[in-house]
Every structure is written in C-alpha cells, then in structure tokens.
C-alpha cells in the first residue's frame, strides 16, 4: 500500500530527483513540510498495488521501493516489478506496465532509473525512459510518459542479461536495485542468492547502451584473469572457483568524472572461506569504474577475506567533505559493522585516516585462513559499539537475564571480526547491522549525515558436513 500525505496541495519537485538517486544523499530542498507542521499531515489518498493479495509459495516478497517523480508522475515499482504511474496529488492511476515477472524468487524492487535521450525529438516516444531490472534478470526500458516499451531498446524494449552459469532455480540471480546511469551508459548490479553453493554465479556488473540496449562492458568483482592486479589477493588463482561478490546495493554516479561507484559484497561462502585464502579483492569493497569502459579507477576493501557476511550494504554518499582547509568531492561509505569511511572520490585517497588493527582469530575452523588485521577508520566514532559482553544483556526478569547471560558466556566472541565457529559465535552488530541497504542521508546545508543503525546480536554456528542433517 502507498499513502499520500499532504498539508494542502503539496508542491512536488522532480528536478533534483535524479541527482539524489545518483549521489545517494536523499536530500530534498522542499520547505513546505517542517518540524512545526508535520503533526498536521492528513492522509490525502492511498493506493493498493495488489501484489500481496495472493502470495505464491516460495515467494519472498518485500515492498522496498523508493518512488520517483518522473515526467510529472509518481512512479512506483512493486514487488512483482509492475511499474505504476500515479497522479501525485490524487493517487489516481495513470498507467501500468507489467513485465510478467516470475512468481518465485526474491520479490523486491528498490527503484527505477530515468534517462533522457537528448538526440531524440521533444515529445517523441522514449525520449524520456524508465529503465529497471527484473527477478529473472531482464533489463527493460519503457516510455516515461506512457509506459509503452521502447522498441529500439533490445528486443521490444527488453534485454535478457547474461548469467555466468546456469541457475539452480529461477531467481538465483536477480536485479533488485535501481540501475545506475553514467551519461548514456546503464550499469546494472545483481543479487545472488546467499548460502546456496560455493560455485554460485558470478556477481558481474553489466553495462549497456541506454539507447539501444547493446552490452558495452562487464566487470567481475572476483578477478578471474591472472593479469588483473587484484588476482594476487586470491592464493593459487582461487577466484575462479567461487561466486558472488555482487553489487546488490544501489550504486552512485559522478557524471563529470564519468565514474560509477560499486559497493561490492562478500564472495561465497558467506561464513566459510576455506579454499580462497588471501584478502579476496575486489569483494567487500568500494570500486570506482570509468563509465564508458568499465576500467577500474580505484578501489578500497572494507573487509579482508570476508567470512562475516559483511557486504558493503548501502549506496555510497557523494558529498563535499572538508579536508585540510578545503572542500573535497568525496565518497562516504557506511557499513554493516557501523564503521564509516570517506575517500576522495576521484583518486580514492582516504579523507579519514585508516589503520590496520589486529582482530580475533578465536574459533577458527580447520582449513580457514583468516586475515590477521582489518581496516578501521581513525578519529570518527562508529555507529555501533565495537564490542559486546555478558554485561550488555538484559531480561524481562532476573531469571531471564541470568539465562541470557549464561548463553552469551558459552559462545565465541572477540569483537566485530570474530569468525563463525563450531562453538557458535556472536555476530554484533550482526549481518543486518549498520544502516543495511537503506543507507544514510546527507543535508548539504547543515552538513549533517543521518544514518540508521541496526544492532541485533545474532549467533552463527558452523556445522561440519558429516554432522549436518
């Protein structure tokens, strides 16, 4: 369900929407709704997508869309990837495009992209386009004003994006987040299903011509080419035997630099890295690519040899950052660990000092090759405490608290980078920690970054295959 809230007749603004999506700031210059009158908001209208009325078995649905104002329409992407254009003042439905998404798999859409073809005549079909991905890994372009497919894009407005190997089920690889658009290039990430198999499909990032749908380049976060400088961070060329490292969060774009910024995830397996000794670049990183070519401009890894499911979870914030007496075009990245990093987004130079600190090796299982250190930013507080102890537990009664304390004392824990173990390890702030996919927001006037922070301790236990049920 979508709600429209108004004071009177809200002045919708669309001019800055594209910039907000590209930079991840989520900032609006609108001033009609304030802290003084927000309690006076009333429901003006509501719209039901109908997608959740008859849920299918094995369908993981979640309404996570970030609606966009495009060509005077409030554009919504539903869990089934139906694109709906609404009158923003009344909630009246103007048009619907249904891509006939499969009924199984990860059912979530986190937004659409908008591209303007400046070579096309004003008012022509598909001069303004809505571009989005689907749960069966198609890329679709439709006219932003009418919802009609763009005939010159791929085949009847669709491109079947390639997957590196056959899926073991429909939806093992999906496109959930909005594509990034760098000038006339559409860049698409993917979600690769976790905890399914070690040799899962690659988390390749694909780039297409926004006008024709022709594939232009691809980037694999797992460097399978021995000539790639990052390949040496995978001992014995082990990158070829693993998958994922995908970009499931939204990407950010600097049009002037022709740069797209990729928040990459962990390689398979999420909690067990035997067979892939080394730091495993470009996974668990921020990777800056040139939009035209896909060439790596710079990269920084947040988690070495990730066996914690600490993906880079949220869209990078592109802001101006004070550094040595001047403002630097910067990239700020929040993480599941609660750690905050900042870089010169042109060069990759850290704007907040980073140091390598020793981390826990307790509970390491046979065959594992943990990194002895992990990077920590210096001089900026973390969003979450960097430790958890029995003294942090609580309960509804003294008995409840005592039982919880005993449970915590029985588990493996030595800080935020403690590996999963057969004993059972506490993960805190957890695999869903930090801001997760929602990310932070930034107010350029007050210079404040606002970030949600999840802190839910979880227990991860490794079970030897011979003991698995």
What token pair was written down for 201? 């499909």
At residue 57 the predicted structure's pLDDT band, cuts being 50, 70 and 90, is low
Q: Mean pLDDT across the stretch 91-112? A: 89
> Could you say which of 254, 309, 391, 400 is catalytic?
309
- Domain membership of residue 448 (yes or no) is no
Where does the pLDDT of residue 9 fall: very low under 50, low under 70, confident under 90, or very high at 90 and above? Answer: very low
Integer Cα distance of 3 and 23 in angstroms: 26
Q: How confident is the model at residue 58 (pLDDT cuts 50, 70, 90)?
A: low
Domain at 143, CATH number: 2.40.10.480
Query: What is the rounded distance in angstroms from the CA atom of residue 263 to the CA atom of residue 249?
Result: 7
- Would the pLDDT of 273 be above 90? yes
- Spatial distance between the Cα atoms of 391 and 398, rounded to a whole number of angstroms: 13
Of 28 and 380, the structure prediction assigns the larger pLDDT to 380
Burial (CB count within 10 angstroms: exposed 0-12, middle 13-18, buried 19+), residue 455: middle
Number of domains the chain is built from: 1
Question: E strands along 348-415, which residues?
Answer: 354-358, 373-377
- Which pLDDT score, from 0 to 100, does residue 216 have? 99
Residue 65 lies in a domain: yes
Q: Domain for residue 422, yes or no?
A: no
Instruction: Kindly report the length of the chain.
Output: 469
> Would you say residue 18 lies in a domain?
yes
Q: What CA–CA distance (Å, rounded) separates 16 from 10?
A: 16
Confidence grade of residue 102 (pLDDT, cut at 50, 70, 90): confident
Strands (E) located in 335-413: 340-344, 354-358, 373-377
pLDDT tier at 83 (50, 70, 90 boundaries)? very high
What's the average model confidence in pLDDT over 400-413?
96
Burial label, 112 (beta-carbon count in 10 A; 0-12, 13-18, 19+): buried
**Residue 53 pLDDT:** 64
Write the pLDDT tens digit of every residue in 159-193.
999 999 999 888 899 999 999 999 999 999 999 99
Contacts of 54 (CB under 8 A, 6+ apart): none
Asked whether residue 123 is assigned to any structural domain, the reply reads yes
How much is the average pLDDT of 204-232? 98
Task: Write out pLDDT tens, residues 129-156.
Answer: 999 999 999 999 999 999 999 999 999 9
CB-CB contact of 302 with 284 (8 Å): yes
Inside any domain, residue 420: no
Establish whether 309 is a catalytic residue: yes
* DSSP-derived 3-state class of residue 39: helix
In this structure, are strands 59-61 and 105-107 parallel, antiparallel, or unpaired? Answer: parallel
Rounded to the nearest 5°, which phi and psi values hold at 299?
-155, 155
Residue 63 domain boundaries: 1-155
* 314 touches 334 (CB < 8 A): yes
33 within some domain = yes
Is 131 within a domain?
yes
> What pLDDT is stored for residue 438 in this prediction?
87
């Amino acid at each position: 369900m979508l709600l429209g809230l108004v004071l009177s007749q809200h002045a919708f603004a669309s001019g800055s929407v594209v910039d907000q999506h590209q930079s991840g700031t989520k900032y609006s210059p609108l001033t009609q709704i304030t802290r003084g009158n927000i309690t006076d908001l009333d429901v003006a209208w509501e719209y039901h997508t109908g997608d959740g009325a008859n849920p299918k078995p094995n369908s993981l649905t979640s309404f996570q869309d970030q609606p966009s104002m495009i060509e005077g329409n409030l554009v919504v992407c539903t869990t089934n990837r139906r694109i709906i254009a609404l009158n923003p003042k009344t909630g009246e439905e103007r048009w619907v495009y249904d891509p006939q998404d499969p009924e199984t798999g990860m059912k979530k859409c986190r937004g659409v992209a908008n591209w303007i073809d400046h070579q096309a005549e004003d008012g022509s079909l598909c001069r303004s386009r809505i571009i989005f991905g689907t749960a069966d890994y198609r890329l679709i372009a439709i006219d932003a004003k009418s919802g009609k497919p763009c005939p010159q894009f791929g085949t009847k407005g669709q491109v079947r994006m390639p997957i590196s190997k056959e899926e073991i089920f429909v939806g093992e690889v999906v496109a959930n987040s909005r594509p990034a658009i760098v000038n006339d290039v559409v860049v698409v990430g993917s979600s690769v299903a976790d905890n399914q198999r070690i040799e899962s499909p690659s988390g390749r990032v694909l780039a297409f011509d926004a006008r024709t749908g022709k594939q232009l380049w691809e980037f694999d976060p797992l460097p399978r080419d021995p000539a790639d400088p990052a390949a040496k961070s995978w001992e014995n060329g082990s990158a070829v035997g693993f998958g994922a490292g995908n970009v499931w969060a939204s990407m950010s774009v600097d049009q002037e630099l022709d740069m797209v910024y990729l928040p990459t995830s962990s390689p398979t397996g999420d909690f067990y890295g035997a067979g892939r000794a080394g730091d495993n670049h470009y996974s668990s990183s921020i990777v800056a690519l040139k939009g035209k070519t896909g060439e790596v401009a710079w990269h920084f890894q947040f988690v070495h040899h990730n066996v914690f499911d600490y993906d880079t979870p949220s869209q990078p914030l592109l802001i101006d950052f004070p550094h040595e007496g001047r403002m630097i075009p910067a990239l700020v990245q929040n993480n599941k660990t609660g750690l905050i990093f900042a870089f010169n987004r042109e060069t990759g130079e850290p704007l907040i000092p980073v140091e390598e600190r020793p981390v826990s090796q307790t509970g390491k299982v046979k065959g594992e090759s943990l990194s002895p250190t992990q990077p920590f930013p210096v001089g900026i507080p973390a969003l979450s405490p960097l430790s958890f102890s029995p003294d942090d537990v609580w309960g509804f009664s003294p008995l409840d608290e005592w039982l919880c304390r005993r449970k915590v004392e029985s588990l493996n824990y030595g800080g935020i980078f403690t590996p999963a173990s057969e004993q059972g390890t506490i993960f805190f702030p957890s695999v869903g920690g930090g801001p997760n996919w929602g990310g932070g927001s930034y107010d350029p006037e007050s210079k404040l970054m606002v970030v949600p922070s999840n802190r839910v301790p979880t227990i991860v236990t490794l079970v030897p295959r011979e003991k698995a049920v």
